[in-house]
Amino acid sequence: QIGEPQPIAWLFPGDADPELVAKAEAFLGRVHKDGTLVRLKDRYFGHVRRLKQFDVVQFLERTRSLLPDFRTQFESAQARTGIDWRLIAALAYQESPVGPHGHQPHRGAGHDDADRGNGGPARRFQPARPEQSISAGARYLADIRDQLPER
Q: Which residue has the higher pLDDT, 97 or 125?
A: 97
pLDDT of residue 2: 58
Read off the pLDDT of residues 104-142 as tens digits, 9 standing for 90 and up.
544 444 444 444 444 444 444 455 678 888 999 999 999
Q: Is the pLDDT of residue 50 over 50?
A: yes
pTM greater than 0.85: no
Domain-wise residue ranges, the chain: 1-50, 66-147
The CA distances from residue 94 to 89, 98, 104, 106, 149, in Å, are 9, 10, 12, 12, 26
Average pLDDT for residues 53-79, to the nearest whole number?
88
| Whole-number pLDDT of residue 82 | 96
What would the pLDDT profile of 51-65 be if each residue is shown by its tens digit?
777 777 888 888 888
For 84, half-sphere exposure in the C-beta direction (CA atoms, 13 angstrom radius) is: 4
The yes-or-no answer on residue 61 being catalytic is: no
The better pLDDT of the pair 44, 135 is held by 135
Q: How far apart are CA 22 and CA 70, in angstroms?
A: 51
Least confident stretch, 15-24, 26-35, 106-115, 135-144: 106-115
Contacts of range 66-75, beta carbons closer than 8 Å, 24 or more positions apart: 70/130, 70/134, 73/130, 73/131, 73/134, 73/135, 74/134
Check: CB of residue 143 under 8 Å from CB of residue 85.
Answer: no
Catalytic one of 19, 25, 61, 95 = 95
If we measure between CA atoms, which residue out of 61, 144, 47 comes closest to residue 100?
61
